[in-house]
């Protein structure tokens, strides 16, 4: 008899995007002529830049000839890409890492979900709330989160991030946590963390022997020069933090699949006997056993974004999305909506007017303006009373959505 992993049975079905689709479809059935615009999408819409396309075409051509063909690559990724990462993403910020502290992944989600398997099941995790659901769910899958009741997992520490506390998560005061997930710039709130605030978390981790898993998937959207792009800009972080990065939002790689994970050699976890074990070694062991590398073509595509043309081209697309975000903030605020984020991230976190629930406002916006948003309550208990709007649409559809919201307000 094959026994099932019962922890999977405790997972909540992630109905958020399915529920949204269902409600949008019901609306379309009743209003077949209405043209619905989505400000809910979490995917990019603009094409890959020319530098990436030509690097991929070249790589594909290499694959067509036995003398330049590439089979299995290194599990950790090709040196050409790992080297480009160090030289472009870290050295200019004064961060010096070794090449074997860089692991190329097939998108950050896999590594974020998998990294927890290096850690004993009865560590306590801490997350900011609202959050990207992968952090909790991947831990729940091995039973680390306890039981799910009233929208919360019993063993998870939630640190609320709301307008009331300026979206600054508070360090756990009265109890110890072992593993901390931070995501900055944040999905879904679009807010960022200052060096001063991030330093508090690093100091907590160093003092309390905790591990920080830092998701920097949106770092390319940071506009403010004082906001940290990497947790390693904070002294001591290389002793307590893992960093996940992705080309998905940086360069439109959601369909290409490539990113990387930094596992510094100084980061360790303890055995019950108190021996310190290097997580870099364990992660390498894990990857060599379970992962056969990201495709050669994807890694050449990623390398191309570090060329002078590549850098310029991806920046143009980021500017394109950020122009949407600026316009959204401008129009929505002028209409009296309370908006957060959107300045260093492609997300706007909007408080629902009049204390409405996230879902109630979602329906009103859909029926009144034919615009789709994402209910904030789908991202955790502190997301109730907010909705997430994304800047990933085209200029035209974003402008049209804003115009409709304006008209709806007048109606």
Q: Judged by CB, which is closer to ligand PLP: 85, or 183?
A: 183
Pick the binder of ligand PLP from 126, 140, 177, 217 (CB under 6 A): 217
Q: Judged by CB, which is closer to ligand PLP: 215, or 343?
A: 215
User: Rounded distance, CA 116 to CA 84, Å?
Assistant: 27
User: Rounded distance, CA 209 to CA 234, Å?
Assistant: 16
Q: Decide if residue 107 touches ligand PLP (CB under 6 A).
A: yes
What six digits make up the tokens of 372? 């789709």
Q: Judged by CB, which is closer to ligand PLP: 302, or 350?
A: 302
Pick the binder of ligand PLP from 254, 357, 394, 397 (CB under 6 A): 254
CA distances in angstroms from 91 to 85, 87, 101, 226, 402, listed in the order given: 9, 5, 14, 17, 41
Question: For 65, phi and psi rounded to 5 degrees?
Answer: -130, 130
Q: Decide if residue 109 touches ligand PLP (CB under 6 A).
A: yes
Q: What angle do CA 241, 245, 251 make, to 5 degrees?
A: 165
Site string for ligand PLP, 177-196 (x = CB under 6 A): ------x---x---------
Q: Decide if residue 278 touches ligand PLP (CB under 6 A).
A: no
Q: Judged by CB, which is closer to ligand PLP: 283, or 347?
A: 347
Pick the binder of ligand PLP from 230, 248, 261, 374 (CB under 6 A): 248
Yes or no: say if 58 and 296 are a contact pair by the CB < 8 Å rule: no
What six digits make up the tokens of 60? 């594909």
- Cβ neighbors of 12 (< 8 A, separation 6 or more) are 148
CB of 147 to ligand PLP, least distance (A): 25
CB of 181 to ligand PLP, least distance (A): 10
Pick the binder of ligand PLP from 215, 303, 343, 384 (CB under 6 A): 215
CB of 104 to ligand PLP, least distance (A): 12
- Which window, 24-32, 70-78, 248-256, 270-278, contacts ligand PLP (CB under 6 A)? 248-256
Q: Judged by CB, which is closer to ligand PLP: 144, or 249?
A: 249
CB of 29 to ligand PLP, least distance (A): 31
Q: Decide if residue 249 touches ligand PLP (CB under 6 A).
A: yes
Interface residues for ligand PLP in 257-276 (CB under 6 A)?
259
CA distances in angstroms from 90 to 94, 112, 148, 243, listed in the order given: 7, 20, 39, 12
CB of 51 to ligand PLP, least distance (A): 20
- Cβ neighbors of 289 (< 8 A, separation 6 or more) are none
Q: Judged by CB, which is closer to ligand PLP: 217, or 366?
A: 217
Q: Judged by CB, which is closer to ligand PLP: 182, or 405?
A: 182
Question: For 46, phi and psi rounded to 5 degrees?
Answer: -85, 145
184 DSSP 8-state letter = S
Interface residues for ligand PLP in 123-142 (CB under 6 A)?
132
- Cβ neighbors of 347 (< 8 A, separation 6 or more) are 185, 186, 187, 188, 189, 190, 325, 341, 388, 389, 390, 391
Q: Judged by CB, which is closer to ligand PLP: 162, or 246?
A: 246
Locus of tokens 């690559």 = 73
Rg (CA), the chain: 22
Locus of tokens 């398997």 = 117
Pick the binder of ligand PLP from 76, 246, 250, 298 (CB under 6 A): 246
- Which window, 200-208, 219-227, 247-255, 332-340, contacts ligand PLP (CB under 6 A)? 247-255
Q: Judged by CB, which is closer to ligand PLP: 314, or 366?
A: 314
Residue burial 241-259, b: 16+ Cβ < 10 Å; e: rest = bbbbbbbbbbbbbbebbbb
Q: Decide if residue 108 touches ligand PLP (CB under 6 A).
A: yes
* Closest alpha carbon to 120 in 236, 272, 264: 272
CB of 294 to ligand PLP, least distance (A): 11
Residue nearest to ligand PLP (CB): 107
Applying CB under 6 A, the residues found at the interface with ligand PLP are 107-109, 132, 183, 187, 215, 217, 246, 248-249, 254, 259
């Amino acid at each position: 008899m094959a026994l099932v992993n019962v922890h999977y049975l405790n997972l909540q079905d992630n109905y958020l995007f399915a529920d949204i689709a269902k409600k949008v479809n019901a609306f379309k059935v009743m209003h077949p002529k209405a043209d619905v615009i989505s400000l809910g999408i979490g995917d990019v819409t603009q094409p890959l830049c020319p530098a990436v396309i030509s690097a991929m075409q070249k790589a594909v051509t290499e694959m067509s000839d036995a003398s330049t063909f590439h089979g299995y690559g290194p599990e950790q990724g090709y040196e050409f890409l790992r080297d480009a990462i160090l030289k472009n993403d870290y050295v200019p910020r004064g961060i010096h890492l070794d090449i074997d502290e860089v692991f190329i992944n097939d998108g950050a989600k896999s590594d974020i979900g998998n990294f927890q398997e290096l850690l004993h099941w009865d560590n306590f995790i801490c997350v900011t709330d609202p959050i990207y659901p992968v952090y909790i769910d991947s831990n729940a899958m091995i039973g680390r989160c306890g039981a799910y009741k009233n929208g919360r997992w019993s063993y998870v520490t939630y640190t609320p991030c709301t307008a009331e506390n300026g979206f600054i998560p508070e360090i756990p005061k009265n109890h110890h946590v072992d593993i901390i997930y931070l995501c900055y710039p944040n999905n879904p709130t679009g807010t960022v963390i200052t060096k001063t605030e991030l330093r508090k978390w690093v100091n907590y981790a160093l003092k309390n022997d905790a591990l920080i898993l830092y998701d920097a998937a949106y770092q390319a959207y940071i506009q403010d020069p004082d906001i940290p792009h990497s947790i390693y800009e904070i002294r001591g972080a290389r002793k307590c933090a893992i960093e996940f990065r992705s080309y998905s939002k940086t360069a439109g790689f959601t369909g290409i699949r490539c990113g990387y994970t930094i596992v510094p050699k100084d980061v360790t976890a303890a055995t019950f006997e108190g021996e310190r074990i290097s997580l870099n070694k364990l992660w390498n062991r894990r990857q060599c056993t379970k992962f056969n590398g990201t495709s050669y073509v994807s890694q050449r595509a990623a390398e191309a974004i570090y060329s002078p043309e590549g850098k310029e081209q991806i920046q143009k697309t980021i500017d394109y999305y950020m122009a949407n975000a600026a316009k959204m903030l401008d129009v929505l605020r002028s209409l009296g909506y309370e908006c957060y984020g959107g300045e260093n991230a492609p997300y706007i976190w909007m408080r629902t007017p009049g204390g409405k629930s996230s879902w109630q406002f979602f329906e009103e916006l859909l029926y009144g303006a034919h615009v789709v948003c994402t209910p904030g309550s789908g991202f955790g208990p502190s997301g109730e009373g907010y909705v997430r709007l994304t800047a990933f649409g085209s200029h035209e559809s974003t402008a049209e959505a804003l115009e409709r919201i304006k008209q709806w307000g007048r109606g």
